[in-house]
Structure 1
Amino acid sequence: MINKKTAYIGCLGLIGIITTEFGVIGVLPQLAEYYHITIDKAGVLLSAFALVIAITGPFMMLMASGFDRKKVMLTAISIFLITGIVSSFGPPFWLLLTVRILPAFLQPVYISSAIAAAVASGDKKHEHQLMGIVLGGIAIAMVTTVPLATYLAGIFTWKASFMVQTAVSALAVFGIMKSLPPMPVKTRKSYGSQLQILKQSSFLLSTAMNFFMIAAWFSTYSYFADYLGKVKHMDEKMISYMLFLFGITGIGANWISGKMLSKSVPLTTALFLCGTIIVPFALQYSGGNTWSTILVIAIWGFLYAPCFLNASAYMISAAPHALEFANSLATSFGNFGVSVGTIVSGWVIVHHGVAMSPWVGMCFGLLSLLMIGMRSLIERSREPVSCI
């Protein structure tokens, strides 16, 4: 029987992180109205957060790789807590943007440390299952705190969404402080040995796949509330229900993906990635039919949810001996994808309308599938030819 306690604590902290990063998605229209800015400028609250992670993530991970994992995780979540407190007071936009950027420096450090700690508590055959528990915090946040933040913002003001983020981060700080033992790093790997993975073509292709895949999903998801409001004509209350539905289908998807990854990482990644092609057509042809739209959102949430788990597993499979650094790169390039997907889709929305955002995602999705195909071809060419 495997010890899942560390994985569940890591999951709790990730719920706090995701609530902070993505909780803003449901209130972007309100923020744009409050600060008298356009929706694409409000989207900078998401894209800037992700861009900081993309640029600094790997370097922060290398710097933190020798520190006690409990202290690293606790420090990261504490900064997220402070961010939530300041944001809930409705500061000027420049200050709101600043305090949202600060915790982004430590987000990949937290995720990599939590995954490494969870994996270390079990054996190799349970690696993907333990990773799935930690990264399941993404889906849990999508089904609980993210829609709750949007729902409360609809009843009160957008500031209520940041209060939810503060409460979750406080709970995560308490959980890590009380439930995790000290976790010093016993053997610190040299920077050089970890950087060696950047010379591997299969790893570089995996990195590109991760970037395009996350960009594909967030081209649409970043503007989820705006899309459902303007294209599907849903009010704030209905949108919060759709966020809940989106998240609840994702919980099962993470569990299923974790099982499938144990059998085939490339095939599992490709199967869920096909959603970036299916969803735009499904949204288009669901038209104004509410029940059809609800069904599409359920499928959308199911196919989207494991994207971070699949991305991490896919990149780690190309660099199994540098798990933490590979995972920090997965987090960084994934967030680079969030940033680019949000920015590109925001530009398209301003010039052509929010209805075009799913098609932007499909273009990124096709590029991601191409990366999977290229890596598979390279790895097959390296396989020894058996002589009969």
Structure 2
Amino acid sequence: MLRLAILMFCVFSITTGEFVVAGILPEVATDLGITVGSAGLLVTAYAVGMIMGGPVLTAVTAGVDRKRLMLSLLAVAALGNAVSALAPGFSLLLVARVVTALVTSTFFAQAIVIAVQSAPPERAGSTVARLAFGMNLAMILGAPVGTQIGGQWGWRATFATIAVACLIGLALVLWQLTPPPEAGRTSAVSELRVLRRTPVLLALAVTAVGNVGVLMVFSYLAPLLTGLADHPVSRLPLLLLAYGVGATIGNLVGGALHDRDPRLFQPGLLGMLAATLLAAWFVATSTALTGAAVVVIGLFGFAIIPGMQARVMATAGEAPTLAMAVNASGYQVAAACAGLVGGLIADSAAGPRPIYLAGAVLTVCGLALTIVATRASRGRYHG
């Protein structure tokens, strides 16, 4: 439990740096004399850094001692946030965010591998869920607190605080974290070979496709909700908080259900998510019903994640770290696609409402892939 708590705190510290940027963009733009749109490139650059750099860095460091690697990654994260706090101009700030993004994906992959290999095989899903709870906290606690710090003392104070949190995580890892013997060295070749397996590729595809629908709704919550006549803009932060609480509950419940029967509950949760998205499309003109649907979407949207992570771990077998890093990139690809497709729908003559319907269709595609993946990995995947 101590090992898992340390990893959770480290994940919370690093991923807060990802989520908090959206809340301090206006301050960054004003201070550096750029437009908010230009400042938004910080978000895009971070996502690209995770998509492209995470798997490459993970493959390159495959043979490095895991504890030493974790310490190095935390040191780079602390340095990246410190440079972000001190950057005199936008160019250096952009570089610092990309460098920080490179280590985020790799650290999360390493943390999941250590956590799962430290737990009994039958508790893989709940272990992933508990580790991902650190990311949930970054969304519902770290980002609002970081935004508040930025509003009170400036955006540089936000990045400085995250740098200190990363240093505390580094000290905790150095003091108390000892990876299990099973989490020893692997080679880049063995990690790369895993990506040739059909069950692994299908598991990665499930993550990339199955999350697009829910991420599309999350990305365009503001236009979806503020377009309602009786929904004031002031309610949006409260609903976002409710979404985050629902996501946290869903994450923990989804992990527990996955451990009970992954073959039953993972497709079931995806089916429930698709049904909720479809229901949201039907009730999209009602503020109360839409608000309730959004919270349930958050619950089911995060309930599916532990099972997806555990499936990749199980199918990757003896060399899971690179697969987990690619899986994190797959999630970022889903986010990028959600932004693109959702934007096209929102700008169409029909307005943003069809986003719910498109999300339901894409989630059904993820469900179909899950069924195919389960059949393809029969005999290998036991949850």
Superposition TM-score tier, normalisation by shorter sequence? 0.7 to 0.9
Q: What is the match of residue 128 of structure 1?
A: 125
Give the Cα–Cα distance (whole angstroms) in 2 for the partners of residues 27 and 287 of structure 1: 31
Instruction: Indicate how the Cα distance of structure 1 residues 145 and 343 shifts in structure 2: closer, same or farther if over 3 A, else same.
Output: same
Change (3 A) 1:77 1:117: same
Judge conservation of contact 2:280–2:294 (CA < 8 Å) in 1.
no
The whole-number CA distance in structure 1 between the counterparts of 2:22 and 2:218 is 8
Give, in angstroms, the shift of residue 221 of structure 1: 2.1
Given candidates 42, 46, 49, the residue that maps to 1:49 is: 46
What residue is the counterpart of 1:329 in the other structure? 326
SS of alignment partner, residue 318 of structure 1 = helix
Equivalent of 1:366 in 364, 367, 373: 364
Q: Which consecutive residues of structure 1, in runs of 5 or more, have no partner in the other structure? A: 384-388
Distance (Å, rounded) in 2 between the aligned partners of 1:71 and 1:250? 33
- In structure 2, the residue matched to 1:386 is none
User: Amino acid of the residue matched to residue 194 of structure 1?
Assistant: E
TM-score by length of 1: 0.80
User: Following the alignment from structure 1 to structure 2, what is the Cα–Cα distance between the partners of residues 244 and 164?
Assistant: 22
How do 1:344-355 residues align onto structure 2 when only pairs under 5 Å count?
344-350=341-347, 354-355=352-353
> In 1, distance between residues paired with 2:192 and 2:248?
34
Cα deviation for residue 211 of structure 1 reads 0.7
1:211 aligns with 2:234: no
User: For the residues of structure 2 that align with 1:198 and 1:286, how far apart are their CA atoms?
Assistant: 41
> Structure 2 vs 1, CA of residues 172 and 144 (structure 1 numbering), >3 Å: closer, same or farther?
same
| Root mean square deviation, CA, Å | 3.5
> CA deviation digits over 1:187-225, x for unaligned, max 9?
533333333333322222221111112333322323445
In 2, Cα distance between equivalents of 1:161 and 1:362: 37
- Report the residue type matching 2:106 in the other structure: V
2:214/2:301 contact within 8 Å kept: yes
Structure 1 CA distance, aligned partners of 2:127 and 2:82? 31
What amino acid is aligned across from residue 373 of structure 2 in structure 1?
Answer: R
> Is the CA contact 2:124–2:310 (under 8 Å) kept in the aligned structure 1?
no
- CA deviation digits over 1:250-294, x for unaligned, max 9? 2322222121111332433323333255236426625352x4344
Q: For 1:280 and 1:153, locate their aligned partners in 2 and report how far apart those are by CA, in whole Å.
A: 38
The structural deviation recorded for 1:116 is: 2.1
Displacement of 1:37 in angstroms is: 4.8
Residues 57-92 of structure 1: CA deviation (Å, up to 9, x unaligned): 223212222223233223223333334344456865
Is residue 299 of structure 1 aligned with residue 290 of structure 2? no
- Among all aligned residue pairs of Structure 1 and Structure 2, give the percentage whose two residues are the same amino acid: 22
Matched residues, number: 375
> Is the CA contact 2:207–2:330 (under 8 Å) kept in the aligned structure 1?
yes
In structure 1, what is the equivalent of residue 110 of structure 2?
Answer: 113
2:195 to 194, 198, 205: 198
1:161, CA displacement in angstroms? 5.5
Distance 2:363 2:67 in 1: 36
CA contact (8 A) 2:66 2:183 kept: no
Q: Tell me, yes or no, if structure 1 residue 100 matches structure 2 residue 79.
A: no
| Whole-angstrom CA distance in 2 between matches of 1:279 and 1:150 | 30
Q: Note if 1:16 corresponds to 2:46.
A: no
Q: How does 1:229-248 map to 2 (within 5 A)?
A: 229=226, 233-235=231-233, 238-248=235-245
Query: Residue in 1 aligned with 2:35?
Result: 36
Cross-structure match for 1:80: 77
**Pair 1:339–1:160, CA change in 2 (3 A):** farther
**Aligned counterparts of 1:32 and 1:358: Cα–Cα separation in 2:** 32
- Matched-pair contact (CA < 8 Å) for 2:284–2:353: no
CA distance in 1, matches of 2:157, 2:354: 30
Q: Distance in 2 between matches of 1:148 and 1:311?
A: 29
Task: Give the partner amino acid of 1:287.
Answer: T
In structure 2, C-alpha distance between the alignment counterparts of 1:173 and 1:115, rounded to whole Å: 17
Q: Which amino acid aligns with 2:129?
A: G
Structure-2 residue corresponding to 1:264: 261
Match of 1:69 in 2: 66
Assess, with a 3 A threshold, how the Cα gap between structure 1 residues 293 and 81 changes in structure 2: closer, same or farther.
farther
> Among 317, 336, 340, which residue is 1:339 paired with?
336
Q: Indicate if the aligned counterparts of 1:54 and 1:333 stay in contact, CA closer than 8 A.
A: yes
8 Å contact 1:202–1:375 — kept in the other structure?
yes
* d(CA) in 2 for partners of 1:164, 1:243: 23
- Alignment gaps of 5+ in structure 2: none
